[in-house]
């Protein structure tokens, strides 16, 4: 059974939202991916969202562009965390989706990451899960250590070779 559900409103969103799936796979966390449109398939959205809790889903990562209703609708229907990923494609920089997801009414919270930030959406989902799962917590700590080591290695190369010899790293 999936712990995390990744949902998007259109197949055109898969390129961005697949980054969330890749992170969850790296951490060995069961997940599902769905395409359900809040505007074109409201009945299916209600049915799917109503099943999440019974199916053991703990966090939803919802990608939406333009009007970005999907994360808010899921938050209205699902009592556990919903992470919104505003998608570019509407107004320049995805500002329409970003503002739509940030401006949720009181009582219908959506945590929002950066525009096209599906990777951070997955990392936030993992942090939520890690609050009650020591194995995921240890994997997150290792991930953070590896990021630090990667930056330190790049700095070492910069100091050794200078910026001209550094390349496009």
Report the percentage of the chain scoring pLDDT > 70: 98
Q: Quick check: 53 pLDDT over 70?
A: yes
Measured CA to CA in angstroms, residue 2 lies from 10, 69, 99, 161, 166 at distances of 21, 23, 29, 46, 42
Lookup: tokens for 34: 């769905």
> Would you state the pLDDT for residue 12?
94
* pLDDT exceeds 90 at position 68: no
Whether 77 has a pLDDT exceeding 80, the answer reads yes
Residue 168 is predicted with a pLDDT of 64
H or E element at residue 4: strand 4-8
**Per residue in 101-130, pLDDT tens?**
999 999 999 999 999 999 999 999 999 999
Q: What is the mean pLDDT of the chain?
A: 94
pLDDT at position 169 over 80: no
The architecture that CATH gives domain 4-132 is 3-Layer(aba) Sandwich (3.40)
Residue 87 to residue 44: CA distance in whole angstroms: 22
SS3 labels along 42-90? HHHHHHHHHHCCCCCCCEEEEEEECCCHHHHHHHHHCCCCEEEEEECCC
Q: Has residue 157 got a pLDDT over 80?
A: yes
pLDDT given for residue 165 in this prediction: 78
Name the more confident of 33 and 168: 33
pLDDT digits (tens, 9 = 90+) for 12-39: 999 999 999 999 999 999 999 999 999 9
| DSSP character at residue 32 | E
Q: Please give the average per-residue pLDDT across 57-84, as a whole number.
A: 94
Which ranges of the chain does DSSP label H, i.e. alpha helix?
Answer: 14-26, 42-51, 69-77, 95-102, 118-130, 134-166
Q: What's the confidence (pLDDT) of residue 120? A: 98
Average pLDDT over residues 46-70: 94
Q: Round to whole Å and give the CA distance between 105 and 115.
A: 20
96 with 67: CB under 8 angstroms?
yes
Q: CA 102 to CA 154: how far, in whole Å?
A: 35
How do the domains of the chain map onto residue ranges?
4-132, 134-169
């Amino acid at each position: 059974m999936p712990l995390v559900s990744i949902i998007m409103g259109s197949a055109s969103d898969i390129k961005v939202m697949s980054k969330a799936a890749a992170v969850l796979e790296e951490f060995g966390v069961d997940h599902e991916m769905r395409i359900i449109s809040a505007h074109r398939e409201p009945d299916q959205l209600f049915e799917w969202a109503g099943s999440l809790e019974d199916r053991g889903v703990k966090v939803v990562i919802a990608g939406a562009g333009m009007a970005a209703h999907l994360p808010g609708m899921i938050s209205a229907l699902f009592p556990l965390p919903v992470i919104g990923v505003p998608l570019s494609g509407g107004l320049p920089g995805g500002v329409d989706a970003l503002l739509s997801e940030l401006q949720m009414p009181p009582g219908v919270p959506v945590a929002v990451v950066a525009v096209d930030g599906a990777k951070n959406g997955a990392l936030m989902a993992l942090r939520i899960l890690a609050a009650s799962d020591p194995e995921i917590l240890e994997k997150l700590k290792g991930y953070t250590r590896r990021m630090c080591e990667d930056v330190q290695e790049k700095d070492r190369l910069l100091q050794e070779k200078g910026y001209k010899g550094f390349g496009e790293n």
